[in-house]
Amino acid sequence: MEYAETAWSAVEEAWLDLDQYINLRDLQSLSSGSLQWENILLVSTTISVTVTLILATQRWFFGYKNAAEKPAVIHVRTPDQALPHWKGIRMDPPTLRSQEEPDMIQCYCPATGQFLGATPASTLLDIDAAIECAAAAQCQWNPSFSARNKVLKTIRKFLLENQEVVARVACRDTGKTMIDASMGEIMVTLEKINWLIKNGERALQPSSRPGSSNPLMFYKAAKVVYEPLGVVAALVSWNYPLHNLMGPILASLYAGNAVIIKCSESVVWSSQYFVQIAREALQACGHSPDLVQLVCCWPETANHLTSHPQISHVTFIGSKPVAHKVAAAAAESLVPLVVELGGKDPCVVFDDDGLDLKTIAHTILRGTFQAAGQNCIGFERVIAQPSAYKTLLDIFRETIPKLRVGAGIDQQDDVDVGACISNMHFDRLEELIADAVAQGAELVAGGHRYPHPKYPQGHYFQPTLLVGVTADMEIAQTEVFGPVLTMMQAETVDQAIDLANSTIYGLGAAVFGANTVTLRKAINDIKSGNIAVNDLAAFYVCQLPFGGCKGSGYGKFGGEEGLQGLCLAKSVAFDSVPFCKTTLPRPLQYPIPSAVKGWEFVKNVNIAGYGVGLWKRFKSLVSLGKSA
């Protein structure tokens, strides 16, 4: 009723505008005798009235659905640690696991070393209880798509209205900057929500299929229906604690499942807050919050989750060594598995006329240094032809040494590159850089860990520019996952593509060029699960199915395929023509009257259904008629 009244008010206002215009037109024509001004006003007012009527009608017809999907209001307490300029005790040295309390996970901010709190690591019994609780809730979770949309809209409303708090929670636990959190956490999560609201219902509608090609089966129709799997699990990485966690939650709930999230122990503090957003949204919309469960355990306990018989699907985002263990555990219960293992993504820049290399350079810097380079689809290798290589190198030589490193959480300082999650891999990173230099690469900037004067307990690495890298260097083959920009020169298009394919990885890639033939060749020949053309990771923002090949894993999440992958794709064949149905002919009924006649009958069925030539098929039909 509310929308109907609003629509009628809009119609009344439109007609009043038109009536006022007509009166004004009469007065104007009497005073000036000119119709030019009047005609312009007439056209503009008519268009305005028409558009208003259309919008009013749309609200009239679709208002009730929108009302059913109106987001609920939720309140999630802001942790003290997420308040601006929070002062916490600094750990020295910061560590996740202490000898005094080995069963507790110690949470701290990688940018400052500030202690965020401690939480018990999940035990085997905790995991069992979470799965049982989720399974019980999932049995009652069979909402309409409007109800699902309402939950998603409630989460969206909260994220939009609490962006600063949400970003700061992510920053406190990862050390990234607020801008990186907004772009890499909030924006992509909002995109996921909007995509599901707009396209999720269509993706999960029953899919009609052609049915049999056999004309004898003309009356059979076929379709695929998508049903919930039950309880699914997602083991997600630490680099994007909001998005990596919320993505599986959104998709799993929309597909009708309950979900167990196993977060990294490095970000359990923020994960608890983000999971609470989803649970509060479910409860506010009249559903059980138990549909979403969070567990966080030490590595020695994780196999219990991935091998659990009540888990119907597992998504794993992490490293290749851990993936081997996850796959082995999932195989015990034959659990379907999607594995995303990071990459060594190439950014290929061709020597084409018309390219704005300065703009491309800024895109490359964002693709390399966002989240301190801890981005599975960040640019790990910049491969450029000679002219583009020289221009880009000049820009990077000037820019990268000026990048500012620090804690951008409270934005008291202008910071370009935040902290790394840990300093455990800094030795290895310095070794890779030194090894490349020893083999002829040039270290232009950075190359070492950075002892921050204000945050000595923080984990910082200098923004690094390494040029003249070749494919035989170890740094060209190893995922760095840090703030390191490596440049490789390619003389030809073919060599650039060969360099792009020269690693065991195949997750993402980007190609920059103006020649459509060259771009088409690169798209076809680069072995990667995702490719962005003249852009950074646009495939991810477009919600395409996401996943890699080769050493980057297998399977897809995201998009239609990812959503359908969280369902049981049930194939259904049925009679679609009245009074037509399958009956087993007498020559094939048990006991078989005659093996010889039965064989002749089946042979003629095959010829009639699949044979080549009308005459042969006609004769086989006659034979079938005689033998039936």
Closest C-alpha to 320, from 546, 502, 500, 505: 505
Chosen CATH of 124-339+564-568 out of 3.90.1570.10, 2.40.50.180, 3.30.230.10, 3.40.605.10: 3.40.605.10
Query: Which pLDDT score is estimated for 98?
Result: 86
Cα–Cα distance measured from residue 47 to residue 187, given in angstroms and rounded to the nearest whole number: 35
The H or E element spanning position 32 is: helix 2-32
List of residues 6+ apart from 568 with CB closer than 8 A: 226, 227, 228, 229
Question: Dihedral of CA 347/350/351/355: which sign?
Answer: negative
The residue whose two tokens read 């009540």 is 310
Query: Which pLDDT score is estimated for 48?
Result: 65
CATH topology of domain 346-534: Aldehyde Dehydrogenase; Chain A, domain 2 (3.40.309)
C-alpha angle with apex 324: 319 to 326, nearest 5 degrees? 90
Tokens representing 511 are 């190609």
Q: What is the CA radius of gyration of the chain?
A: 31
Query: Which pLDDT score is estimated for 40?
Result: 54
Amino acid letter, residue 234: A
The residue whose two tokens read 């520019």 is 465
Query: Which pLDDT score is estimated for 513?
Result: 98
Quote helix, strand, coil % in the chain, to nearest 5. 50, 15, 35
- So which residues are the catalytic ones? 340
Question: Dihedral of CA 511/514/516/517: which sign?
Answer: negative
Query: Which pLDDT score is estimated for 24?
Result: 42
Q: What percent of the chain has pLDDT over 90?
A: 85
Cα–Cα distance measured from residue 287 to residue 295, given in angstroms and rounded to the nearest whole number: 21
Cα–Cα distance measured from residue 417 to residue 462, given in angstroms and rounded to the nearest whole number: 9
Query: Which pLDDT score is estimated for 58?
Result: 59
List of residues 6+ apart from 106 with CB closer than 8 A: 91, 94, 95, 96, 97, 98, 115, 118
Longest dimension (CA), the chain: 104
Question: Do the Cβ atoms of 253 and 292 come closer than 8 Å?
Answer: yes
Query: Which pLDDT score is estimated for 10?
Result: 46
Tokens representing 367 are 């693709």
Cα–Cα distance measured from residue 233 to residue 241, given in angstroms and rounded to the nearest whole number: 16
Name the average pLDDT for the chain. 91
- Ranges of residues in the chain with a pLDDT under 70 are 1-46, 48-65
Query: Which pLDDT score is estimated for 36?
Result: 53
Query: Which pLDDT score is estimated for 6?
Result: 43
| Cα 233 to Cα 128, 257, 315, 489, distances in angstroms | 13, 10, 6, 42
Cα–Cα distance measured from residue 252 to residue 36, given in angstroms and rounded to the nearest whole number: 60
